[in-house]
C-alpha cells in the first residue's frame, strides 16, 4: 500500500490544485508551504515520496532534498520548479532527486511519475538481491547482470551516471536532455554523437556480461523523439 505523498509548495493556489488533482487520481497527498511545516508532520506522516518546489521561502528545495536524502536514503524525491536551467537539474540529481518536473505541471504526468517511483522504490526495498535485475554498486562502480552473480563489470564515471539516469527515470525511459545532463553536458552545445557513442560503449559492456549481442541490444533501446530506455529492472546498491 502506498503511503501519502508529501508536497512542499509555497504557492497556495498551486498546492490546492496539486492536492485536488492527485486525490482525484487516487493518490493520497498532503501539502505544506515550507520546510518548517514539513518537519512538523514528517515523522507522523512517514511519506514514501516527497514533491519539493525548489524556490521555497527560507530553506529552499535543493537544501531540503540534500537533508532528507542523507537522513532517509530510500526516500523518493521529485523536484518541482519554474526554473528550466540545466544547472538546477544537474544539482538536483546530484543531491538525490529521483525526478525533475518543470512548471506548469501536467497533473497526469506527475501522477504517472509518482506511481512509477513508488513501484521502483517498492521493488528495490523488497528485491535487493532479485535475480531478474541488473545491480549497480555505486561504491565499487560495478554492474552485475541478472542471474549471473559472479559476472561483474567495472564502470566508468560516465557509464555509472548514465545507468543512474535510467534508474531514476520512470519505466527506465530517459530523455536525451537528462542523459546529457548526467554526462555533465548542456543540450544546447552537446554533440549528440557523443551521447550515441557513450550509449554504444555501455551496450557493448553489457553484451559482454550477457554473452549475447542481440539480447543486450534490447536492454537499452532508442526511443524516437525522446531518448533511450533501459527495458529491464535496475537496482542501485549503496545509494546514499
* Residue 67, domain CATH: 3.40.50.2300
- Residue 160 confidence (pLDDT) above 60: yes
Query: Are 90 and 137 in the same domain?
Result: no
- Residue 33 confidence (pLDDT) above 70: yes
Query: Are 81 and 10 in the same domain?
Result: yes
pLDDT band at 89 (very low <50, low <70, confident <90, very high): low
- Residue 202 confidence (pLDDT) above 90: yes
| Host domain of residue 29 | 5-124
pLDDT the model gives residue 87: 55
Residue 231: other Cβ atoms inside 10 A: 13
- Residue 75 confidence (pLDDT) above 60: yes
Query: Are 120 and 24 in the same domain?
Result: yes
Query: Are 109 and 134 in the same domain?
Result: no
Residue 95: other Cβ atoms inside 10 A: 19
pLDDT the model gives residue 91: 55
Query: Are 30 and 103 in the same domain?
Result: yes
Query: Are 168 and 200 in the same domain?
Result: yes
- Among 108, 124, 140, identify where a domain stops: 124
Query: Are 135 and 227 in the same domain?
Result: yes
Long-range contact pairs involving 156-163 (C-beta distance under 8 Å, separation at least 24):
158/183, 158/198, 159/198, 159/201, 159/202, 159/205, 160/136, 162/198, 162/199, 162/202, 163/136, 163/202, 163/230, 163/234
Query: Are 138 and 229 in the same domain?
Result: yes
Residue 36: other Cβ atoms inside 10 A: 11
Lowest mean pLDDT among 20-29, 33-42, 63-72, 123-132: 123-132
**211 Cβ contact partners less than 8 Å away, ≥ 6 residues apart:** none
Query: Are 52 and 144 in the same domain?
Result: no
Average pLDDT over residues 167-194: 83
Could you give the number of structural domains in the chain?
2
Average pLDDT over residues 85-109: 71
pLDDT the model gives residue 148: 66
Distance CA 19, CA 71 (A): 26
- Residue 216 confidence (pLDDT) above 50: no
Query: Are 74 and 183 in the same domain?
Result: no
Percent of the chain with pLDDT over 70: 84
Give the dihedral sign, CA 113/46/22/18. Answer: negative
- Residue 218 confidence (pLDDT) above 80: no
Amino acid at each position: 500500500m502506498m503511503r501519502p505523498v508529501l508536497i512542499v509548495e509555497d504557492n497556495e493556489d498551486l498546492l490546492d490544485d496539486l492536492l485536488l488533482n492527485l486525490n482525484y487520481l487516487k493518490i493520497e497527498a498532503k501539502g505544506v508551504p515550507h520546510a518548517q511545516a514539513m518537519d512538523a508532520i514528517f515523522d507522523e506522516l512517514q511519506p514514501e515520496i516527497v514533491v519539493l518546489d525548489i524556490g521555497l521561502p527560507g530553506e529552499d528545495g535543493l537544501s531540503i532534498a540534500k537533508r532528507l536524502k542523507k537522513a532517509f536514503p530510500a526516500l523518493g524525491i521529485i523536484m518541482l520548479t519554474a526554473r528550466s536551467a540545466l544547472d538546477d537539474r544537474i544539482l538536483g540529481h546530484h543531491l538525490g532527486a529521483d525526478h525533475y518536473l518543470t512548471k506548469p505541471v501536467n497533473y497526469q504526468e506527475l501522477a504517472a511519475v509518482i506511481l512509477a517511483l513508488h513501484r521502483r522504490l517498492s521493488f528495490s526495498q523488497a528485491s535487493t538481491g532479485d535475480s531478474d535485475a541488473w545491480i549497480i554498486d555505486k561504491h565499487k562502480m560495478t554492474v552485475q547482470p541478472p542471474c549471473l552473480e559472479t559476472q561483474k563489470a567495472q564502470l566508468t564515471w560516465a557509464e555509472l551516471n548514465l545507468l543512474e539516469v535510467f534508474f531514476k527515470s520512470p519505466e527506465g525511459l530517459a530523455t536525451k536532455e537528462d542523459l546529457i545532463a548526467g554526462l555533465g553536458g548542456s543540450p544546447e552545445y552537446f554533440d549528440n554523437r557523443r551521447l550515441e557513442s557513450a550509449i554504444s560503449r555501455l551496450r557493448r559492456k553489457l553484451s559482454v556480461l550477457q554473452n549475447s549481442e542481440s539480447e543486450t541490444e534490447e536492454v537499452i533501446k532508442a526511443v524516437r523523439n525522446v531518448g533511450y530506455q533501459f527495458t529491464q529492472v535496475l537496482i542501485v546498491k549503496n545509494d546514499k
